[in-house]
Amino acid sequence: MPLHFEITSPERLVLKDEIDQVSIPTAMGEITVLPGHVPLVAELVPGELRVKRNGEQHFYAVAGGFVEVQPDDRVVILADAVERDDELDITAIEAAEERARKALSEQTRMDDTAFAAAAAALEHEMARLRVARKRAPRSTPVTRKGAE
């Protein structure tokens, strides 16, 4: 019996399909939902979402939001932002990660709200980079900027 899965962001419906399982980054830790899972509502945190469908894994980067597991094997994710692994550009993400790190290093000039926003941006970019690296061809080494 499959899960009826839907993931949307404010911009678009990303996926609506029947799946085997989904692993979701939540504020309480990562959860894996299988058919028959107990109903719940949880807050998403920036991270990697893994969907298993027909024996294949599919990866998504999420930036927060909410997940609801309903009693009828229906899983609905409302994400603040979500991208499939094939939509991610490693070079652009590394540049964004560097900007977020720089903003955090200038924390003495930030109030608490600005610091929290910069920390959240860095966490999101790191999640996007992890997902993008899973998609990178094995023959092309992916290195962190500045790492030798």
Residue 15 and residue 7 in contact, taking contact as beta carbons nearer than 8 Å: yes
Q: How far apart are the first and last CA of the chain?
A: 48
Confidence of residue 110 (pLDDT cuts 50, 70, 90): low
Q: pLDDT over 90 for what percent of the chain?
A: 49
pLDDT in the model for residue 148:
36
Mean pLDDT of the chain: 83
Q: What is the pLDDT of residues 113-135, one digit of tens each?
A: 777 776 777 777 777 777 777 76
Tell me, which fold does domain 3-85 have in CATH?
Answer: ATP Synthase; domain 1 (2.60.15)
Closest CA to 59 of 26, 92, 14: 14
Q: What is the pLDDT of residue 137?
A: 55
Which of 1.10.3470, 1.10.510, 1.20.5, 2.30.29 is the CATH number of 88-135?
1.20.5
CB 3 within 8 A of CB 35: yes
Contact call for residues 93 and 128 (beta carbons, < 8 A): yes
Q: Provide the residue ranges of all domains of the chain, joining segments of one domain with +.
A: 3-85, 88-135
Q: Which two tokens stand for residue 31?
A: 């959860």
Task: Supply the pLDDT for residue 142.
Answer: 43
Q: What is the pLDDT of residue 116?
A: 73
Looking at residue 1, what is its pLDDT?
84
Which residue type does 147 have?
A: A
Comparison of pLDDT for 85 and 17, the residue scoring more: 17
DSSP state string for 57-70: EEEEEEEEEEEEEE
Asked whether the beta carbons of 75 and 91 are under 8 A apart, the reply is no
Predicted local distance difference test score (pLDDT) of residue 62: 92
Distance, in Å, from the CA atom of 14 to the CA atom of 16, rounded to the nearest integer, reads 7
